[in-house]
Amino acid sequence: MTFTEQHERRIPQRTIPRLSHYYRALLESREVQLISSETIAELTGYTAAQVRRDLAYFGQFGTPGRGYSVEDLKKVLLQILGIDHQWNVALIGMGNLGLALLRYRGFHEQGFNIIAGFDNDPRKVGQMIEGVKVHQMDELAEYAKRDQIRMAVVTVPASAAQAVVDQLVGVGVKAILNFAPVRLQVPGGVKIHNIDLAIELERLSFLAIHK
Amino acid sequence: MTFTEQHERRIPQRTIPRLSHYYRALLESREVQLISSETIAELTGYTAAQVRRDLAYFGQFGTPGRGYSVEDLKKVLLQILGIDHQWNVALIGMGNLGLALLRYRGFHEQGFNIIAGFDNDPRKVGQMIEGVKVHQMDELAEYAKRDQIRMAVVTVPASAAQAVVDQLVGVGVKAILNFAPVRLQVPGGVKIHNIDLAIELERLSFLAIHK
DNA sequence: CGTCATTTGTGATGACTTTCACGGAACAAC
DNA sequence: GTTGTTCCGTGAAAGTCATCACAAATGACG
């Protein structure tokens, strides 16, 4: 069973993280060969209808009366999420957050290989951390070309983020995960996803005092 | 001008982070006294109608024909977001991510004071990092009571997260920011917000290969 | 005071997302 | 075969959220 690109409908934004959760549920279900939408729902906390609808956006992967093949569905989800192959990732900004992400094992386990770090601080350049060497920013173009880097994680201060992103776009990076608390401009075709830790805490604060 | 609690309507989930963005835009507008929804929209990348609607969920803060008072609106947003006072926060799990968050200045700037760290690794217990002491987990109850800790950030491995959360709930913590990639059970009244870095990367991967 | 330009707050509309509910496909059992 | 059970895929309904568009409010100006 294979997933073949077929964009008939628009995919709801929130479907995508749910697919990741479904995939994790499948990883925990090695002993069974078939799994129902109801079981996936129980394991993930969503509803069975939601599971079926989300999967149906991408094709017909189940068998009525039986369920979904765990092995096949895992492959399909890997393909849909784009993690059926390795991503070479550059990490820009080797401050505390950058170091933490470099050491975070979760990335490598999902096929995201951080293959080079970049920083402008001379004290950090040249260091070897977790098997990853830290380079000066002006070496970015060289490595991006050589190692086909198409994804980057940005953990520089807000004031430097736009310039860094411009450089990344310039060397062909197509997807950027940005931790700097600032809205960044990118040309069409380049995807950017922002994680703002202060805003996440504020959201929690709001939840805690309301409702 | 003051915001008085009045929950007539349900607040859309996505309104809350937008409020944080509006607040940031106001911080950058010190020279002006009045600001229009149109200007806030330009600064944040949303639409003017969205800005007005979001604010209107909580009351009437503007003046027709004039706009919003920057000073007043800042106060209102601080109140709505619950960051008009300090939060005492416990940080559980002093691994790489925990250390990065401890050193991250953005938290303290928004009134989130990490006042104690906790870990079960004997090599970490007793250390002093960024002015914060690392304690054993079994000392949690004592500190939670003494310092009125009502919020916690959890950066322990997935396998330990539920036990940690149970302890936090037991000592009266009401809001938890969880970085462990696992779905956690909490009783009603306790708010939990999850950030899963691997899933965020998968979302980016999806965006990069589709559309 | 009347007119004009401006901008809020909100009813109405439209777009998007989730849930419901059921036809039909698949297989087991006899 | 036929019956019974299971469970997917999806049209339709319900629910949620964003945008439109305008009445009403405000102050400037003469």
DSSP per residue, B127-154? -EETTEEEE-GGGHHHHHHHTT--EEEE
What residues 100-129 of chain B have any CB closer than 8 A to a CB of chain A? 100-101, 103-104, 106-107, 109-110, 112
Indicate the length of chain B as a whole number: 211
* pLDDT for B30: 82
Residues A71 and A97 in one domain: no
SS3 content of chain B, % helix, strand, coil (to 5): 45, 20, 40
- pLDDT value, residue B133: 97
Residues A76 and A45 reside in one and the same domain: yes
Q: Is B210 on the interface with A (CB under 8 A)?
A: yes
Choose the mutation target among B97, B205, B207, B210 for the interface with A, i.e. most A CBs under 10 Å. B205
Among the candidates A62, A81, A100, a domain finishes at A81
Residue B8's pLDDT band (boundaries 50, 70, 90)?
low
A97 and A77 share a domain?
no
Let me know if residue B48 belongs to a domain: yes
Query: Is 60 exceeded by the pLDDT of residue B53?
Result: yes
Which pLDDT belongs to residue A5?
65
* Residue A197 region by backbone torsions, left for phi larger than 0, else alpha for psi between -120 and 50, else beta: alpha
Residue B73 lies in a domain: yes
Helices then strands (H, E): number in chain B? 9, 10
Pair (B92, B195) in one structural domain: yes
* CA-based nearest distance B21→chain A, Å: 8
Buried/exposed A122-148: b ≥16 CB within 10 Å, e otherwise? eebbeeebeebebbebeebeebbeeee
- Chosen domain end from B81, B107, B128: B81
Q: What is the pLDDT of residue A8?
A: 60
At B6 the pLDDT is 58
CA distance A118 to chain B (A): 18
Mean pLDDT for chain B overall: 94
Domain count along chain B: 2
Q: Is the CB of residue B107 less than 8 Å from the CB of residue B101? A: yes
| CB burial string A18-56: b at 16+ within 10 A, e below | bbbbbbbbbeebeeeebbbbebbbebbebeeebbbebbe
Do residues A95 and A55 share a domain?
Answer: no
The model's confidence at residue B54, banded by pLDDT at 50, 70 and 90, is very high
Q: Is residue A10 part of a domain?
A: no
Instruction: Say yes or no: B69 and B95 in one domain.
Output: no
Task: Give the pLDDT of residue A9.
Answer: 72
Q: Are A201 and B113 in contact (CB under 8 A)?
A: no
CA-based max dimension of chain A: 63
Q: Is the pLDDT of residue B39 over 70?
A: yes
Picking from B209, B200, B198, B196, the residue whose alpha carbon sits closest to that of residue A82 is B209
Q: Are B209 and A96 within 8 A, CB to CB?
A: no
The tokens for B95 are 């691994």
Q: Are residues B95 and B180 in the same domain?
A: yes
Q: Give the rounded percent of residues in chain B with a pLDDT score beyond 70.
A: 98
Contact A101 B197 (CB under 8 A): yes
Output the domain CATH number for residue B39: 1.10.10.10
Q: Where are the alpha helices (DSSP H) in B11-56?
A: 15-27, 37-44, 48-56
The answer to whether residues B151 and B75 belong to one domain is no
Same domain for A148 and A170? yes
Q: What confidence score (pLDDT) does residue A1 get? A: 63
Q: Answer whether A88's CB lies under 8 Å from A148's CB.
A: yes
In a domain, B102, yes or no: yes
Q: Residue A99 falls within a domain, yes or no?
A: yes
Please give the DSSP secondary-structure letter assigned to residue B170: H
B54 found inside a domain: yes
Nearest to A26 by CA among A71, A84, A66, A85: A71
Are B91 and B114 in contact by the 8 Å Cβ rule? The answer is yes
Contacts of B99 in chain A (CB under 8 A): 96, 100
Q: Which of B37, B57, B81 is the last residue of a domain?
A: B81
- The least confident of A29-33, B69-73, B148-152 is A29-33
Selection from A136-145, B8-17, B100-109 with the highest mean pLDDT = A136-145
A67 CA to C27 C1' in angstroms comes to: 12
Longest dimension (CA), chain B: 63
> CA of B36 vs C1' of C5, distance in Å?
15
Domain span including residue A31? 15-81
How do the pLDDT tens digits run along chain A, 211 residues long?
A: 677 765 567 999 999 999 999 999 999 998 899 999 999 999 999 999 999 999 999 999 999 999 999 999 999 999 999 999 999 999 999 998 999 999 888 888 889 999 999 999 999 999 999 999 999 999 999 999 999 999 999 999 999 999 999 999 999 999 999 999 999 999 999 999 999 999 999 999 999 998 7
pLDDT class for B106, splitting at 50, 70, 90?
confident
The answer to whether position A136 is within a domain reads yes
Whether B165 and B108 map to the same domain: the answer is yes
CATH number of the domain encompassing residue A122: 3.40.50.720
**B151 and B181 assigned to the same domain:** yes
Residues A76 and A93 in one domain: no
**pLDDT at site A104:** 85
Is A199 an 8 Å CB contact of chain B?
Answer: yes
Residue B152 covered by a domain = yes
Q: CA A109, B161, B13: angle at the middle one, nearest 5? A: 90
Please check the confidence at residue B142 and state whether its pLDDT lies above 70: yes
Cβ partners under 8 Å of residue B156, min gap 6: B92, B93, B95, B164, B180
Q: Which nucleotide is nearest to A36 (CA to C1')?
A: D7
| Contact residues for A52 (Cβ-Cβ < 8 A; gap 6+) | A37, A62
Q: Is A168 on the interface with B (CB under 8 A)?
A: no
